[in-house]
Amino acid sequence: MSTVYQQIGGGAAVDAAVDIFYRKVLTDDRISRFFDDIDMDVQAAKQKAFLTMVLGGPANYTGQDMRRGHQHLIARGMNDDHVDAVIELLGQTLAELGVSPAAIGQIAGVAESVRDDVLDRPPGSPRGTQPGSSNTAAAAAAAEKRGPCGPSCGCAHNQ
């Protein structure tokens, strides 16, 4: 059975998707402010490696786990609405690239599976739970053992 990474076209498709996605992000009033002081070349490279890994491609992601990697954004007010915007823009990007609705659904599922880690709150938290409400030190240590993506993304770290 092929991975989502293979189904959408592999590395070239991930590269194109991330480039288009960040163009959308940087012009979206809901979330663009979170990227004002970010080196977007570095960010895009990290995102490409992360998506490649969680979609079943080569695992070359070496960035921080989702809790640690988003702490600075939580401090700036990131919440569920912002995660929703990211998932929406990613879905739009993939649709523009001709990715099947089924594959888009799988990818959205991966994004949803790391929501609590991105927002640094206890696993299974209901929507609207305060971001940053986890014991980050303990949660980050547990995340380190799981791998960088989160407990239920389905990548090789969680098999």
Cα separation, 36 vs 20, whole angstroms = 17
The structure's pTM equals: 0.81
For 4-158, the fitting CATH number among 1.10.490.10, 3.40.50.880, 1.10.10.60, 3.40.50.720 is 1.10.490.10
Query: Where exactly are the structural domains of the chain?
Result: 4-158
* Tens digits of residue pLDDT in 97-148: 999 999 999 999 989 999 999 999 998 999 889 998 886 655 555 656 666 5
Cα separation, 76 vs 34, whole angstroms = 8
Cα separation, 112 vs 106, whole angstroms = 10
* Tens digits of residue pLDDT in 137-152: 555 556 566 665 555 5
Q: Which amino acid is at 19?
A: D
Residue 78: how many CA atoms within 13 Å on its side-chain side?
26
* Tens digits of residue pLDDT in 44-72: 999 998 888 888 898 887 777 888 888 88
DSSP state of 63: S
CB contact at 8 A, 90 and 111: yes
Q: Which of 134, 156, 143 is nearest to 64 (CA)?
A: 143
Label residue 156 by pLDDT band (50, 70, 90).
Answer: low
* Tens digits of residue pLDDT in 20-40: 999 999 999 999 999 999 999
Q: Which of 86, 94, 92 is nearest to 70 (CA)?
A: 86
Cα separation, 42 vs 48, whole angstroms = 10
